[in-house]
């Protein structure tokens, strides 16, 4: 269970505006889940505490931080639109990354089966695109509930 969010990119909280989120949804051609939007508005660029979780049967990973919606060029590498554009040739269609791991993998919303209620998947950069996604949770809230100190 989440105890809170720690600053990661910036030294202070940088709220995401409704307009920035709406612009990203338009560009990505998706509707982000409400539970995610409620959290990311106040916690973009932050890390959850705790932040470890088990993915699949054998892998434990770390939820590094929520990507942000800011136009700040200094932090472009952590922007949600930048990352989805960078990964567009690797990601399956209708899979949208929203967080990363220290190992270069990602957490993403998978809209392939349900455009209104996407699954949360782990995206491994070490697998070919057709095998890169591993289901993790049925919702963003469920994903947060899986986080632990271990």
Show pLDDT as tens, one digit a residue, over the chain (150 residues).
Answer: 788 999 999 999 999 999 999 999 999 999 999 999 999 999 999 999 999 999 877 778 999 999 999 988 899 999 999 999 999 999 999 999 999 999 899 999 999 999 999 999 999 988 877 778 999 999 999 999 999 987
Residues 15 and 40: their CA atoms lie apart, in Å, by: 8
| CATH class label, 4-146 | alpha beta
CB atoms within 10 A of CB 118: 24
63, 101 contact by CB (below 8 A): yes
What is the pLDDT at residue 17? 95
Q: How far is 61 from 124, CA to CA, in rounded Å? A: 11
Question: pLDDT at position 121, please?
Answer: 96
Collapse the DSSP code of 19 into the 3-class scheme (helix H, G, I; strand E, B; otherwise coil) and give the result.
helix
Residues 6+ apart with CB under 8 A from 15: 41, 42, 44
Q: What's the chain's Rg over C-alpha atoms? A: 14
In the Cβ-directed half-sphere of 74, how many Cα atoms lie within 13 Å? 3
């Amino acid at each position: 269970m989440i105890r809170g969010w720690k600053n990661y990119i910036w030294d202070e909280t940088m709220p995401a505006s409704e307009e920035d989120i709406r612009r990203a949804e338009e560009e990505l051609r998706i509707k982000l889940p409400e539970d995610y939007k409620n959290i990311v508005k106040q916690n973009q660029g932050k890390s959850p505490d705790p932040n470890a979780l088990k993915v699949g049967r054998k892998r434990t990973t770390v939820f590094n931080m929520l990507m942000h919606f800011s136009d700040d060029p200094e932090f472009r590498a952590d922007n949600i639109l930048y990352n989805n554009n960078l990964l567009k040739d690797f990601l399956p269609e209708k899979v949208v990354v929203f967080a990363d791991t220290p190992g270069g993998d990602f957490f993403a919303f998978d809209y392939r089966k349900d455009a209104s209620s996407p699954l949360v998947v782990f995206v491994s950069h070490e697998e070919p695109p057709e095998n890169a996604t591993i289901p993790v949770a049925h919702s963003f809230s469920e994903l947060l509930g899986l986080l632990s100190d271990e």
